[in-house]
Chain A
Amino acid sequence: MPISLTVNGKRHELDVEPEMPLLWVIRDELGLTGTKFGCGIAACGACTVHVDGVATRTCVTPVEVVDGAEITTIEALAASSGAGEGELSALQAAWVAKQVPQCGYCQSGMLMAVSALLAENPQPTDEDIDAAITNVCRCGTYPRIRAAIREVTSA
């Protein structure tokens, strides 16, 4: 049975092993490389996407579990936030304004995790942010991530 996914608004019928993690479907089968491989055990969050709007670590999510789901990756974060063609979402714009990324590798996952948090809880406390954003960044962009979140929550 092929697995069907809607990724960034486009429907795909996929003939892959049901246990293949969604990460590798997204990266190797669909060629969307914005979603990153970091640890393979859901410990770092680099692979976070939205599955039906929920932040999901795809490196441990078998594709069969998300059969039929609507998936949004970093490539469509702006569009899914209502930004026009070639524009950024307010959150991405805050990331640019605060010059958050360093190496940038973890930032796709960070943005997906934070955008899911804000969709559910538009005015999170610092404790809410601490509890929800457990993604790992090795460059140490944490202070600026918090500042960028505050840029959109205090607006």
Chain B
Amino acid sequence: MKLGKPTRRQFLIAGGAVAGGALLIGYASSGPSRRAQADAAASAGGERFVTTWLKIAPDNTVTVYVPHADMGQGTITALAMMAAEELDADWSLVRAEQAPAESAFANESLGNRFVPGDGVPPMLKGVNAAAWYQVAKFMSLQITGGSMAVRYTGQHGMRTTGAAAKEMLLKAAASRWNCSPSDCTAAMSMVTGPKGETATYGELAADAAEYSPSASPKLKSRSEYKIVGTPRPRFDIPGKVDGSAKYGIDARPEGLLYAAVRLGPVSRSTVVSYDASQVLSRRGVKKVVEFPGGVAVVADNYWRAKEAAAALDVEFDAGDKVNVSSETIFAAQAEALSRETDEDKEVGDAASVFSSAPETEGAEIVSAEYRVPYLAHACMEPMNCTVWIRDGKADVWVGVQDPLGTRARIADVTGIDFDNVTVHPMLLGGGFGRRIPLREGFFDFPSEIDFAAIIAKEVDAPVKLVYSREDDIQHDAYRPAVTSRIRAVVGPDGYPTAYENLYVYKDDPEEAPHIPYGIANQSIRYAEVPTHIPRGPWRSVAHTQHTFFSESFFDELAHRAGKDPLEYRLALLKDQPRHAAVLKLAAEKAGWGKKLPQGHYHGIAVQQSFGSIVAEVAEVSIEDGSPRIHRVVAAVDCGLVVHPDTAAQQVESGIIYGLTAALYGEISIENGAVVQTNFTDYEMLHLSECPEIEVHFVDSDAPIGGLGEPATPVVSAAVSNAIFAATGTRIRQLPFKLHDLSQVSDKFAQAAD
């Protein structure tokens, strides 16, 4: 049985029969206050507010609705496994789908953790203004980001949903057989009674729907798991090898037209003038539409629209933003860090240790300034959004990390009522933080979603707006360019007694600039240096820069002390056994300290982010002045590993994403605009350069950690530290391509001779 297009009403019923006798169940995992609000808002006649859902059909198939976008992380499969495990379902009968963009599917376990006043990460701040506009009462969050799906939705939502459904099925069976539920057992989508009676879940579903789901069903212990912890084939793979998978860019509603844009090169420029008649007579061109910051050409084929848009003479005004360049931005950051900074974290009394250092016997101050550039996300699927507005209603086809927020956004931009906006979630050709339309300052960062909606209002047909790769590279919300000044007071034993980090931009997650190392006196401070360049979350967000800074700096201190970088870290991690364990495991598997092929060197780094700890050892040589990365060994403590194969895949993926940025990633600003245009000057790692990657998981009973991001930030420091080992050159500015290592490597080779 197919559920078809759900009505909102259906989804607000927690346990209940739907057409065909199916059981539909969900469960809210909220804390007491939110839960009460949710029940008050949504319940009537014993109904309960729900968050994640299972559907059991008469043919005994189970469908799990997952309130997250799957961008290739395997989320939908992993979450379905967590629900199916507790349900004791026959995995061969389990299906999974991304939940519709309906409030009832909101990811409440995420919303609950970040309710206002409870430390809302900047990445989600836009939510207060937009997604919650419709339903503060429903906690309408459907965001995929922050490596949160498995550790919040899965752990708190899916498991409980599955367990509650199983209890309802057992009650239904017990009633049928006149026995107690405890006399019945559930396994492989079948309930067995005390006298050997059997009934499939599908046969019991309609009866089970008569019961209310328990608020606290009994959950399995890890030792009872049969599905979780095994590598089940992902549901999304088959469609991705035969061309049938449909991404946002593949939407083809009847009568579709295509839009291409001309955006002012400088973000938030205004359109001064253009002459639509230049292109209106071209073949296939239907209309020219102006929107804030640009002009769109609508045509019956994307290439015709794109060619026409390119042929338009458009004059833009960017005001004094044209005076901004990477140089002025870094100069402003340097200046800001020399002035008064704001407190991030203070431990002990670092200031006095620094001020008394010159008079302290054997103490020395070590300082270094690090810098990283802006980075674009460069998802393989260029940004796009298809909108059809008719009869006061909007249909939207788009692949986003927040379908519900997108729906609210479209409603806002078009003035159409939220209930009359339908978002058809499509697959995402990459996300990495780019496809979250709601973010701090979002209203200052108009994106393709807004533009598509504005254009569609002017056209009597569905319109698919597609960014060119150039639009995508030049009109992103970027990982910011960041400067960090780090100092340490080092004692005669080579270990720091005080640590100071002055950096720009306090970002998400707020602990990213903090270090795991046991140093009695720490002063971590920041300055805000606003620019007009839009900022956005980029895979692992602030960890990308801070891990490079601090893990490079501690490597500097280790070498300066004449100590092994692994041993040096371990000495400072006596109170951090999980960090020490992953470092040791990565080092052991990589053969740290053992003989490497001639010209090969190791570098190591570690970081905790999004609840997981990752250590990486990179094996690097220098070829023609550039680093060649041969092998990366990662050791990961993410608590329980739900799906070992996709977990390893996410670590591989994170390493390659981080390595690409470390080697090549640089968005630079000139005359207020982004210089880079496409993959020719915003370069990508290719198959030929891809290192061998090995991933090892620590057997851990720590709480479940995220995996989409934590492998990314570590690799830049691991490789940079290997480059130092190879050349004696400390790289304090990314990307590596800026540095010609041929001279130093030769010199180093000679010195070694």
Contacts and interface: CB of A to CB of B under 8 A. Distances in A.
A103 B688 CA distance: 21
Contacts of A108: 243
B427 interface: yes
B71 interface: yes
Given A143-B652, A143-B690, A105 B242 contact: no
Q: In the complex, which of the residues A40, A96, A140 has the most CB atoms of chain B within 10 Å of its own CB atom?
A: A140
Given A41-B680, A134-B686, A103 B427 contact: yes
A105 B427 CA distance: 9
B399 to A, nearest CB: 9
A21 interface: yes
Nearest to B243: A34
Contact of A103 (B382, B428, B654): B428
A150 interface: no
Given A33-B250, A138-B379, A92 B242 contact: yes
Q: How large is the interface on A (under 10, 10 to 19, 20 to 34, 35 or more residues)?
A: 35 or more
A39 B690 contact: no
A153 to B, nearest CB: 15
B645 A24 contact: no
B240 A107 contact: yes
Given A24-B302, A34-B244, A130-B688, A140 B655 contact: yes
A20 B687 contact: no
B599 to A, nearest CB: 19
B19 interface: no
A28 B258 contact: yes
A142 B690 contact: yes
Interface string B692-729: 11000000000000000000000000000000000000
Contact of A77 (B242, B301, B645, B652): B242
Contact of B283 (A17, A23, A96, A141): A17
A41 B382 CA distance: 13
B563 to A, nearest CB: 33
A20 B284 CA distance: 12
A146 B687 CA distance: 8
B246 A102 contact: no
B23 interface: no
Contact of A43 (B74, B233, B252, B679): B679
Contacts of A100: 237, 241
Contacts of A37: 249, 302, 382, 466
Contacts of A35: 243
A104 B236 contact: yes
A115 to B, nearest CB: 11
Interface string B423-437: 000011111100000
Contacts, number: 179
Interface in A62-119: 73-75, 77-78, 88, 92, 95-96, 99-108, 111
Q: In the complex, which of the residues B245, B258, B379, B692 has the most CB atoms of chain A within 10 Å of its own CB atom?
A: B245
Contacts of A74: 242-243
B678 interface: yes
Contact of B72 (A33, A40, A104): A104
Contacts of B381: 36, 38, 103, 105
B238 interface: yes
B687 A130 contact: yes
Nearest to B239: A104
Contact of B240 (A23, A77, A101): A101
A95 to B, nearest CB: 5
Nearest to B693: A143
B246 A107 contact: no
B286 to A, nearest CB: 14
B243 A144 contact: no
Contacts of A106: 380, 429
B303 A88 contact: no
Q: In the complex, which of the residues B239, B655, B678 has the most CB atoms of chain A within 10 Å of its own CB atom?
A: B678
Contact of B247 (A29, A105, A111, A144): A105
B468 interface: yes
Interface string A6-37: 00000000000100110110011101111111
A73 B242 CA distance: 10
Contacts of A102: 71-74, 649, 653
A99 B237 contact: yes
A43 B678 contact: yes
Nearest to B70: A103
B678 A39 contact: yes
Nearest to B380: A105
Nearest to A110: B687
Interface string A126-154: 00011101111111111111100000000
A129 B687 contact: yes
Interface string B667-695: 00000000000111000111110101100
Nearest to B234: A99
B378 interface: yes
Contacts of A137: 380, 687
Nearest to A142: B690
Q: In the complex, which of the residues B233, B301, B302, B466 has the most CB atoms of chain A within 10 Å of its own CB atom?
A: B301
Contacts of A21: 303
A96 B513 CA distance: 40
A140 B661 CA distance: 12
B657 interface: yes
B252 A31 contact: yes
Given A21-B303, A33-B250, A43 B382 contact: no
Contact of A139 (B301, B430, B469, B687): B430
Contact of A88 (B242, B304, B429, B653): B242
A20 B303 contact: yes
B710 to A, nearest CB: 14
Contact of A104 (B233, B240, B302): B240
B244 A103 contact: no
B656 interface: yes
Contacts of B657: 138-140
A101 B684 contact: no
Interface string B280-323: 00010000000000000000011110000000000000000000
Contacts of B244: 34, 75
Contact of A95 (B241, B252, B432): B241
Nearest to A31: B252
Contacts of A46: 380
Interface string B447-467: 000000000000000000010
A95 B243 CA distance: 13
B303 A28 contact: yes
A54 interface: no
Contact of B430 (A28, A43, A103): A103
A75 B243 contact: yes
A44 interface: yes
Contacts of A27: 302
25 contacts: A20-B303, A27-B302, A28-B303, A36-B247, A36-B380, A43-B678, A44-B679, A74-B242, A75-B244, A99-B649, A100-B241, A102-B74, A104-B72, A104-B236, A104-B237, A104-B240, A105-B247, A111-B241, A130-B686, A135-B687, A139-B72, A139-B380, A140-B652, A140-B654, A140-B690
Interface of A: 17, 20-21, 23-24, 27-29, 31-41, 43-44, 46, 73-75, 77-78, 88, 92, 95-96, 99-108, 111, 129-131, 133-146
Query: What are the 3 A-B residue pairs with the smallest beta carbon separation, nearest first?
Result: A34-B243, A140-B656, A102-B72
